[in-house]
Amino acid sequence: MSSQPIANQPPTQDELDLLNYQSRIERPVKMKIPELERNERLRHVIFSGQFTVDMLEDLADTADKIRVLSKSRSGQDFLLSLLHHKRAMLYFTQPSTRTFLSFMAACQILGITCNEVRDPTTSSETKGETRFDSLRMFSSYFDLIIMRSKLAKLAESCAYLMNDLESSGNRSVPIINAGSGADQHPTQALLDIYTLQRSFQFAEGKTSTVATRFEELRRNYPELSKGLTNKVYGFCGDIGRGRTVRSLASLLSKYEGVTLIFIAPNDPTLALRDDLRKLLLDRGVKTLEVESFDDSVDGVPVIESLDALYMTRIQKEHNAPGDAEKFATIDLSRYKLTANLVARMKKYAPILHPFPRDQHFGEIPPEIDDDPRAMYFRQARNGMWIRSALLASVFGVDHQIARFFHDEYSEWHHYNEDAASASTA
């Protein structure tokens, strides 16, 4: 827990509250997962480790349906009616653009009314209220709390607070972690996985179901298969402090035959951390750590071997005293993408970035944006669809979406099938 009492000062109630959850936080993830579910559904979304591959498939399927339904007025009206009776609190006390706005848009798609606290100086926390009292207040007015904090484990502690309230017969609502310290960002990992799922369908067109360029690619890459399994994923930049990297790498490790390559300086702050390395090794994932895109793996330079590349920025807001001076002695230019590097990548390999990218550092220069492999803007939009799917799942309306979709589009499918057989007849 990052909030430790300062020596010789009595701890604040906030610190005591956090310490109160310490022993529950220290348990292995496997023990915690059942407490974060109700009737085999996610109740609180705290770690990416809560998602199974089957859940990821189901969420992507719901997201695809929401995406298609949103194109028609009748589909939009249906979606809006689903959770019209629900209210969400977006408690974002750490800066955010995409996560905040895409959650808000996701709520709006499903008819959920949103409210927000982004600046704790406008809340009663300045009058001495603890975060846990604030959270309990939110739960009395809202049906869902989506929260981002610079404190690692705060969202997890709040989920336990809600469970305790529930056990004592009090009102309790789901908690969704929208980024907690340098620790976890499970819904970013969801949208990253969704973007990879869509990329590795190798289908053309916006709805991505009809025409495919898979066979064409297979001529150049005979080993290529659809889906996320048996692929090589590269993560470049600030691996040590990137919560999105931690969450995504832990999810990717659930897919068969993946190789994860971390391209980062050999520095304890920026390189892969021991806990993530251990998790990957325990799961038997082939994990490699290199310092440059030109280092070779099995005789091939890393940049040429990747099926997907996840770029990150250097998270300088987390610098400890002395870090800036230390990083000035490292050649960080090796962790920037260039047009020359992109030209050497596989023709289909998507380039992802959780964003924001840093215009001063320039890990992805804008001239790469027009490359068809540059996926980061689509990735951000995918966040809205997959977060809608997640909310639909938490509130148990995903089956209604599937049913409506089936009823609405079965006619369309029959029409198309009839047209296809008529044209081949």
Nearer to ligand NCD, 98 or 334 (CB): 98
Question: From the list 44, 67, 243, 346, which residue makes contact with ligand NCD (rule: CB under 6 A)?
Answer: 243
**Is cis: bond before 356, omega within 30 of 0?**
yes
CA distances from 83 to 87, 113, 241 (A): 9, 9, 36
CB of 237 to ligand NCD, least distance (A): 9
Nearer to ligand NCD, 335 or 405 (CB): 335
**Best CA proximity match to 146, nearest among 192, 107, 193:** 107
- DSSP letter for each residue of 240-290: TT-HHHHHHHHHHTTSTT-EEEEE--S-TTTSPPHHHHHHHHHTT-EEEEE
Place of tokens 């739960």: 139
Q: Does 244 bind ligand NCD (CB under 6 A)?
A: yes
Coil, helix or strand at residue 72: coil
- Quick note: the x/- pattern for ligand NCD over 14-53, rule CB under 6 A, is ----------------------------------------
- Quick note: the x/- pattern for ligand NCD over 197-236, rule CB under 6 A, is ----------------------------------------
Report the alpha-carbon distance of residue 59 to residue 387 in Å, rounded. Answer: 9
Report the alpha-carbon distance of residue 388 to residue 144 in Å, rounded. Answer: 13
List CB contacts of 79: < 8 A, sequence separation 6 or more.
66, 69, 70, 109, 110, 111, 388, 401
Question: From the list 49, 75, 174, 179, which residue makes contact with ligand NCD (rule: CB under 6 A)?
Answer: 179
Q: Does 350 bind ligand NCD (CB under 6 A)?
A: no
Q: Which of residues 83-142 bind ligand NCD (CB under 6 A)?
A: 98-99
* Phi and psi torsions of 148, nearest 5°: -130, 135
The answer to whether 336 and 367 have CB atoms below 8 angstroms apart is no
CB of 148 to ligand NCD, least distance (A): 8
Nearer to ligand NCD, 149 or 305 (CB): 149
Nearer to ligand NCD, 345 or 352 (CB): 352
Percent of residues in the chain assigned helix, strand, coil, to nearest 5: 50, 15, 40
How many Cβ atoms are within 10 Å of 329's Cβ, its own excluded?
A: 8
CB of 168 to ligand NCD, least distance (A): 34
Q: Does 354 bind ligand NCD (CB under 6 A)?
A: yes
Q: Which two tokens stand for residue 236?
A: 């470049």
Q: Does 378 bind ligand NCD (CB under 6 A)?
A: no
The answer to whether 45 and 240 have CB atoms below 8 angstroms apart is no
The size of the chain, in residues, is 425
CB of 209 to ligand NCD, least distance (A): 28
Q: Does 240 bind ligand NCD (CB under 6 A)?
A: no
Q: Count the site residues for ligand NCD by CB under 6 A.
A: 11
CB of 315 to ligand NCD, least distance (A): 6
- Quick note: the x/- pattern for ligand NCD over 297-326, rule CB under 6 A, is ----------------x-x-----------
- Quick note: the x/- pattern for ligand NCD over 250-289, rule CB under 6 A, is ----------------------------------------
Q: Which of residues 384-413 bind ligand NCD (CB under 6 A)?
A: none
How many Cβ atoms are within 10 Å of 124's Cβ, its own excluded?
A: 12
Over its C-alpha atoms, the chain yields an Rg (Å, rounded) of: 23
CB of 108 to ligand NCD, least distance (A): 19
Q: Does 353 bind ligand NCD (CB under 6 A)?
A: no
CB of 193 to ligand NCD, least distance (A): 14
Question: From the list 44, 67, 185, 387, which residue makes contact with ligand NCD (rule: CB under 6 A)?
Answer: 185
Q: Does 188 bind ligand NCD (CB under 6 A)?
A: yes
Amino acid at site 377: F
Interacting residue ranges for ligand NCD, rule: CB under 6 A: 98-99, 179, 185, 188, 243-244, 313, 315, 354-355
